[in-house]
Amino acid sequence: MTERAMRMRNEAEKLSQLDERLKAKIQNEVEANLKKIIEERWNVSKTKQLVVMTQQFLRDRSALFDKDASELRYRSEIVNLLLAGAFEMTERSIWLKTGEIENEIQKCKGMILRRILMSGQNLE
C-alpha cells in the first residue's frame, strides 16, 4: 500500500472511532434526559397519585392482611370499592366524550338560577 492509502485508512479508522464515541455519548445523554423527564413527570402524574392512594387504601385494610378473613369481607372492603372507583372514572370519561356532562351542568345552573329568582320574588 502506498503512504497516501495508509493515511486515508488511518483517517477512516479515526473517524469511525469518533463516530462510535459520539453515538455512545449521544445515547447516554438521551437516556439520562429521558430518565430525568420520566422521574419529573412521575412525581406529578395522576398515575403516581393513583398508586399512592391505592397503597394507602390497601395498607389501611385489614382484610388484605388477615389470613382468616372471609371472601365476603375481602370483597366488601377491597374489591367492591376498587371496582366502584373504576366504573366511576369510566362513566365520567364517557360523559365527557358524549357531552352529557355539559348538559347536566346546564340543568343544574338553570335550577339554581330559578331558585335564586324565586327566592328574590318572595323577598319583595
The answer to whether residue 29 is domain-embedded is no
The answer to whether residue 20 is domain-embedded is no
Q: In tens digits, what is the pLDDT along the chain, a chain of 124 residues?
A: 688 888 888 888 888 888 888 888 888 888 888 888 777 776 666 777 777 777 777 665 566 666 677 777 777 777 887 887 776 666 666 666 666 655 666 677 778 888 888 776 655 5
Q: Rounded to two decimals, what is the model's pTM?
A: 0.30
Total number of domains in the chain: 1
Range of the domain at 99: 69-124
SS3 (DSSP) at 34: helix
pLDDT value at residue 98: 64
The answer to whether residue 78 is domain-embedded is yes
121 CB burial (10 A radius; 0-12, 13-18, 19+): exposed
pLDDT value at residue 91: 62
pLDDT value at residue 102: 58
- Return the H-helix or E-strand segment holding 76: none
The answer to whether residue 4 is domain-embedded is no
